[in-house]
């Protein structure tokens, strides 16, 4: 069965979100997060403030990357229960990073946009707090995706601990990626962070392009 194609309304909504967020990140990068108002972003994007708030309820939401939590959770759910937890979670995070920095036909532009967003998150206290909130939500989505493998207090604790550690390794990789200005491929940095944390067996052998 083929996947459902997005409707015209859904495509337009997505295009509007990308347009507004692109203008917001550019303004925040050029002038500073605190110096730019939501009204400034709406004017630059050519939309009304009401339209902007419909897509981004808060100013912080303009910078947060739409982490594909559902996609990551689906990858985890589909992985073999015979694998170690950290490999199941880590592989899903690496796959997500590959999608973040590629896809949509313009890898360089996608990487630069993500770098700009992450740089703002690192340098802005309010954004750091929201970023941590999104990581907690991602952790919960992953643990839920493990289903029976996280059933019961002890199994749930192990799943939460392993998932939290994997996400922490990813966060370290994201920070290094920003400091390195994207010169190293993000999926490779996440794989290195996972290996440093858990050993060579934590990451499946990856094909080198």
pLDDT at 208 over 50: no
Give me the chain's average pLDDT, please.
88
Opening angle at CA 97, ends 95 and 103, nearest 5: 90
In tens, the pLDDT along 147-162 reads 888 888 999 999 999 9
What is the predicted pLDDT for the residue at 148?
A: 86
Whose tokens are 């992985």? That residue is: 79
Q: What is the mean pLDDT of residues 137-142?
A: 93
Global pTM? 0.83
Token pair, residue 180, equals: 């390195």
* Residue 8 clears pLDDT 80, i.e. is over it: no
The predicted structure's pLDDT at residue 207:
47
Whole-number pLDDT of residue 4? 58
pLDDT at 68 over 80: no
pLDDT of residue 1: 43
Confidence of residue 172 (pLDDT cuts 50, 70, 90): very high
Task: Using alpha carbons, select from 25, 198, 209 the residue that is nearest to residue 110.
Answer: 25
Q: Which residue has the higher pLDDT, 130 or 66?
A: 130
Instruction: Please state, in angstroms and rounded to a whole number, the distance separating the CA atoms of residues 209 and 76.
Output: 24
Residues 178 and 49: their CA atoms lie apart, in Å, by: 31
User: pLDDT tens digit string along 38-50?
Assistant: 999 999 999 999 9
Mean pLDDT, residues 73-81 taken together: 90
Is the pLDDT at 128 greater than 90? The verdict is no
Dihedral sign for Cα 168, 169, 170, 174, please: positive
pLDDT at 139 exceeding the cut of 60:
yes
What is residue 203's predicted lDDT score, i.e. its pLDDT? 86
């Amino acid at each position: 069965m083929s996947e459902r194609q997005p409707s015209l309304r859904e495509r337009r909504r997505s295009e509007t979100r990308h347009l507004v967020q692109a203008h917001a990140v550019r303004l925040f990068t050029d002038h500073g997060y605190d110096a730019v108002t939501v009204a400034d972003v709406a004017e630059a994007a050519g939309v009304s403030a009401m339209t902007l708030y419909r897509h981004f309820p808060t100013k912080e939401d303009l910078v947060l990357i739409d982490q594909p939590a559902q996609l990551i959770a689906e990858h985890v759910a589909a992985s073999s229960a015979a694998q170690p937890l950290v490999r199941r979670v880590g592989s899903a995070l690496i796959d997500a990073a590959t999608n973040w920095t590629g896809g949509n036909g313009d890898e360089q532009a996608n990487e630069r946009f993500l770098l700009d967003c992450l740089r703002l998150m690192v340098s802005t206290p309010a954004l750091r707090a929201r970023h941590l909130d999104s990581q907690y939500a991602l952790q919960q989505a992953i643990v839920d995706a493990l289903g029976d493998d996280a059933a019961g207090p002890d199994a749930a604790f192990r799943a939460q601990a392993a998932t939290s550690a994997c996400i922490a390794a990813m966060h370290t990789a994201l920070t290094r990626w920003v400091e390195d200005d994207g010169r190293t491929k993000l999926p490779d940095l996440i794989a290195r962070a996972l290996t440093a944390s858990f050993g060579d067996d934590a990451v499946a052998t990856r094909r080198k392009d």
